[in-house]
Amino acid sequence: MKKRLRIVIALVVIIAIVLGFIHFATREPMYRGRPLRNWIHEGFAGQHRNPAAAREAVLACGTNAIPFYLKLLQTRPDSRLTDKVLDLLQKHHWPSLGLTRQNDDTSDADIGMEGLCILGPQARSAAPTLVKILGEKDRDQAVQAGYALAHIGEGRVRN
């Protein structure tokens, strides 16, 4: 009996650690209590566009958000499995475990590109990663990386 209890406790602890890691590993920059992704989406693709508020949020987060933008820029569209898992979690009102659904009109890659474009020359540390993306097979990502590089400034791009 004691052995079973120890196994159950160990499993609960492991599950709690994994869920905690998923929660904290997927955190994104926040501005005024809202995720930065929401500010950018609403600034450029939402029904009530407010580019000034998006620009303010991006500039307030500054260069600390560059890794977040690069991660978004390199995301691929949702797979069918992700869609099914999210539908199941939403249907039963369970936590999403850090999974998010791509917006219909604006992808995460678009949001990452917009963030880098708003930062402009301040995002020059992203240039080497953006140049690598240009050489990858995904044409959409390469176009977005090129667009971001153009806003960062071609004079600052070095290999």
Q: Find the mean pLDDT for residues 38-48.
A: 76
Percent of the chain with pLDDT over 70: 74
Nearest Cα neighbor of 107 from 144, 52, 154 is: 144
% of the chain at pLDDT higher than 90: 9
**Tokens 């933008």 label which residue?**
69
Give the per-residue pLDDT at 125: 92
**Cα 16 to Cα 71: distance, rounded to the nearest angstrom:** 26
Question: Does residue 11 carry a pLDDT above 60?
Answer: yes
pLDDT at 51 over 80: yes
Q: 38: pLDDT confidence band, cut at 50, 70 and 90?
A: confident
pLDDT at 156 over 50: no
Could you write out the DSSP letters of every residue in 53-96?
A: HHHHHHHHHGGGGHHHHHHHHTPPPPPHHHHHHHHHHHHTT---
Give per-residue pLDDT as tens, 69-116. 998 888 766 556 666 776 777 777 666 555 555 544 567 888 889 899
Distance of CA 13 to the CA centre of its chain: 28
Q: What is the pLDDT averaged over residues 41-62?
A: 81
d(CA 118, CA 133): 19
Per-residue model confidence as pLDDT tens digits over 125-139 = 999 999 998 888 878
Q: Which domain holds residue 11?
A: 2-156
Residue 13 pLDDT > 50: yes
Number of domains in the chain: 1
pLDDT attached to residue 155: 43
